Structure 1
Amino acid sequence: MDEVRKWSESQKNRANMVFEFAPKLKEEYSLVCKLRTIFRNKKLTKETAGTKLHEWYKEVSACRMVEMISAMKTLKSKEDEVLNYFVNRATNAAAESLNSKMKGFRSELRGVRDLPFYLFRCSRIFG
């Protein structure tokens, strides 16, 4: 767990208290850290990442925690799309951000009546 090494002493103490009180939470946190490690590893190819993900799936299946199993099922259902990240480490975050900004802009206007003008304004503001 690389994140734990970056914690201050007080953060480590608080985490230890929480993990003592809720040991399942420690197990879930460990699984989340393992998934993060897969995505942060710059050397993984699409194929090796797929292998690592399947190993992670096995660990999650063994833990029997509803939330983690739900996350695993979501990843499994979109596995091809998720593994495409490892081709050139690209995400659609910029497109999602633009979409969110446009939705916010539309809500500020309380809807759109003139679509061409709305698109013109969006292209000027966000383009």
Structure 2
Amino acid sequence: MVFGVQEITPDMANSMKLISKKCFLRAIQVIDRFNVQKLALEAMQEIRIKHRWEAMDLENQLIMTAKRENRANIPELLPNGDSVKQLLARSSYVLYKSREKWSERQNERAQMLFGSYPDIKKAYGLSQQLRGIYNNNNDKHVAMTKLAHWHRNVEESGFKNYNTLLNTVTLNYQSILNYFDNRSTNTSAKMKFMNSKTKK
């Protein structure tokens, strides 16, 4: 057991949290922001992937119909030259980025995607709202209020595939909020010691 560690940032696995609690008795557990954001991004991408499978099924049906009728199947192209299937496939990277980091071509693709799939637009907005909470808040109490608003927005979205995300946030709520005390992450591999002279 180690008593000098003030803060530790394990992932959200129960085994890691249990080990951390037993080994670092006085340490405050902090859920890394990137673990939470990753879940939100994955939930958003699930919606895009679902639409992509639907587009692939439709395209296959059109190809088979064209073959039966002994004619060529000419896919409908969007103004940027993408087919619907291509639009959904090529938008994956765009959805990981914030709007201000989009290139002109990526912005064009995103607008076509959002125009055709309002649910993807809504899911993207939720992921960006969460990112904004982490990026723009240093006050734990302000972050708590904004996180509660985000939680309500997710509930009202009606996205069933977000249930795992909401349950995870609920179960780890205090540890998630602890991030805003010192903004510690696993990526910095930062552990604070009460005794600065403590050495391995």
- 1:11 maps to 106
Task: Tell me if the contact between 2:138 and 2:181 (Cα under 8 Å) persists in the aligned partners.
Answer: no
Larger displacement relative to structure 2 (32-41 or 10-19): 10-19
1:53 deviation in Å? 0.5
Task: Tell me if the contact between 1:28 and 1:68 (Cα under 8 Å) persists in the aligned partners.
Answer: no
RMSD: 2.1
Matched, 1:72 2:166: yes
- 1:63 maps to 157
Q: How many residues align?
A: 94
Task: Tell me if the contact between 1:46 and 1:83 (Cα under 8 Å) persists in the aligned partners.
Answer: yes
- 1:83 maps to 177
3-state SS of 1:90 partner: coil
Q: Which has the higher contact order (CA 8 A, sep 6+)?
A: 2
1:46 to 127, 133, 140: 140
1:44 deviation in Å? 2.7
1:31 to 95, 119, 126: 126
Find the aligned partners of 2:154 and 2:163 in 1 and give their Cα distance: 6
Q: TM-score, normalised by structure 2?
A: 0.43
Find the aligned partners of 1:10 and 1:94 in 2 and give their Cα distance: 33
Higher helix share: 1
Whose radius of gyration is greater, 1 or 2? 2
Q: TM-score, normalised by structure 1?
A: 0.66
**Aligned-residue identity in percent:** 37
Find the aligned partners of 2:134 and 2:112 in 1 and give their Cα distance: 28
1:33 deviation in Å? 0.1
| Change in CA separation of 1:3 and 1:94 when aligned onto 2, cut-off 3 Å | closer
1:94 deviation in Å? 5.3
Find the aligned partners of 2:188 and 2:101 in 1 and give their Cα distance: 28
